[in-house]
Structure formats: structure tokens, C-alpha cells
Amino acid sequence: MKNVKILKIRKLFTLIAILLMSTTGFTQNKQATPKELLNKRWKDVATNMPAEWYNSKEAKLVAENVLLSQKEIGGWEKNKPYHHTFSESEREHYINSKSEIGATFDNGATIMEMRFLARMYSHIKDDRYKQSFLKGLQYIFTAQYKNGGWPQFYPVRQGSVAYSGHITYNDDAMVNIMEFLKEIYTNDGIYTSLKISNDIKQNAREAFNNGIRCILDTQIIVNGSPTVWCAQHDSVTLAPAKARSYELPSFSGSESAGIVLLLMDIEHPSEEIKAAVNGAVEWFETNKIEGIRIETVTLDDGRKDRIVLEDENAPPHWGRFYDLESNEIFFCSRDGIKKKSMREISYERRNGYSWYTRAPEKVLTRYPDWKNQTVRKK
């Protein structure tokens, strides 16, 4: 009888504990996302939290979401708030779509999740974090084309989204991958605890070098001189390629900046790399726009609208797209028809896309020091 009473008491305490956990949000499936995280972007949570946070219970719950959402092929979807509590339907989605073929590098996806897992493993030696990280790394190696480029989405899709199979510089997709690989083979601090094998580091170095080869091979040459790049290039011909209906083949004033900064970070650059940087810088200098600023105004109906104003004191800007023949800036609505000014395109595209950029300014600021360093290292 005494043993029966003890069992009943234990069952009672277990039931109370379960009820308490479910009402206070401490079970894995029912946890309430702290307000601190709700107000942050996934990018900030993944890589910019205080170091000690990655050793917290909150971080472990987020890690469970990241593990759950990894595709069997090794990558992740984009634009997902993995730091928020998953509803039952969301959990079902990730479980049921694990075997769905394909993942992406768009908008920092896959690289961001892997950086998060590396931070987690540096504090909590859960082998699942390491295995998930290595699986993601293999996905990166597998997705690289023989010519050294990476698509936005892999395996390549068909139909209306087939453009995601182009070599993708758009939104710095390929640059992000290559910077990450460099961190791997140089054994950057957050990866030390993973004890990545020398063979994998060598694979990362080779993948990076092949990526550089692709960058040099896709640089647009005009009259024998290197200029800049398109936001995406054909994976076979390497020619500038179209993506969405308003993203036409062009000289890119935006994505090209990230590519040049990557090249400028290479120690002991070859003469070919130096020529690539010099050519791109000359193009940036020639094609900068001075005397304008981009401003958002409120219309009579309360809507916000983006306009271009004259301002002789404004810093230089560059267009996102320049025509490959005339070298003139152009703008597009979803009909894909080129316009000469932003005010000529639809309200939706005018305000839903970045048509001007100041990204090359960072290149021009760094260039003099880079130029002096490369001359001294001859």
C-alpha cells in the first residue's frame, strides 16, 4: 500500500510539473518567445547577440528550431524567423518539407544558420549542432558549379524561378558564401571549437579560389578593359543574365561593390585581380551620380512615395542598373520596359525596390590604401 501511495504522489507531482511548464512556456513546443527576441531580426539573433547568450536556455530553444528546419539536402529556407516560437502548423511544415528538394543562399539564408550553429557549439558541445553545421558545409560544396559560381537556389529549379540557377551576385549571395568559406579555412575564432578537419578546410580554400576564378571570368569587359558585373550571370555562358522581370542584364552599381571589396581583401593579389579591382574602381568613378538625394515624402492620400531631389551637397549615388550598351541608368516596372527615371515606373516598384545605392563609396574610400599596399608588396 505504501508503494502505491508513493506512486500516486509521484504521478501527482509529475502532472503538476507538466501543467506548470505548459502554462509558463518552458516546454520546447510551447515556449513563449521573449519580447527581447520578438523585437529583433533573425540575422541579429543568429550572429550579433552577446556571447554569453549563446549559452542560454533561450538560445537552445532557438537552436532546436534551426535543427528542425534544416532540409535533408543541408540548407535552409530564406526569411524565416527561427528565433520565434513555432506553432504546431509551422512545426508540421518544417517536418513535412525536410525532404523537399532544394534550399537557398538568398538573403543570407544557410550561411546565417550555420554561423548561428557555430556560435552555439562554441558554448554547448551538442554534437547535433556540429553535424548540422557540417551537413550545411557539404551543401555549399555540392551547390558550387564547376566554373566556380554558386546559384541562388540549389538544386536548380525549373519554370518561372529558373533564374535562381544563374550565378548569383544579387544581394551579395555569392560574396556571403565566399567570405564564410574564408572564415572556415583560416580557422576564424568561432569555428575553432568545431575542430574542422584539414581536408574540409582545404576543400573550403579550393572552393573559395574557384569562386575567385568565376568572378574574374564573369567581369564584363568593354573595349578590352574590365568594368563591373551584372547581378547574375548565365551559369553556362557566363554572360550577364536576366532574373525577375525588372532585373534585366546590366552593369550593376550595387552588387559589384561587394565583389570588389572581397577582391581587395585577398592577400598578395595576382596581376589579374589587381586589374579587376582597378577596372571596377575606374567604372565607379566614371558612373557616379552627384547632386541628388533620395527622399521619402507623404502624398495627399497618406501614402509614402520615394522621389529624387536635387542637392549639390549630397554624397554620390550610383544606379542599381546601367544599360549594357549605352551605360545609362535605367528603371523598370514589372513589365520589364526600361525607363530613364524612377518617377516613370509604377508606384509599387518605385517604393518596393532599391534603385539607387551608395555601396561603391566604401570601395572608393578603401581604394587608395589598397593601391599603396599592392604597390609596396611588389
List active site positions. 107, 244
* Cβ proximity of 144 and 210 under 8 Å: yes
- Which pairing describes strands 304-310 and 318-319: parallel, antiparallel, or unpaired? unpaired
Task: Map grid coordinates 556540429 to a residue.
Answer: 130
Cα 86 from Cα 317, distance rounded (Å) = 41
Three-class HEC string of 105-170: CHHHCCHHHHHHHHHHHHHCCCHHHHHHHHHHHHHHHHHCCCCCCCECEECCCCHHHHHHHCEECH
CA angle, residues 207, 76, 28, in degrees to nearest 5 = 135
For the chain, how many residues are written? 378
* Cβ proximity of 106 and 77 under 8 Å: no
In whole angstroms, how far apart are CA 294 and each of 36, 101, 188, 216, 307? 33, 41, 38, 33, 6
By C-alpha distance, which of 183, 177, 328 is closest to 250? 328
Other beta carbons within 10 Å of 353 = 16
Amino acid at 130: K
By C-alpha distance, which of 344, 219, 348, 196 is closest to 283? 219
In whole angstroms, how far apart are CA 48 and each of 43, 57, 227? 8, 17, 35
Cα 22 from Cα 19, distance rounded (Å) = 5
Cα 173 from Cα 169, distance rounded (Å) = 5
Other beta carbons within 10 Å of 58 = 17
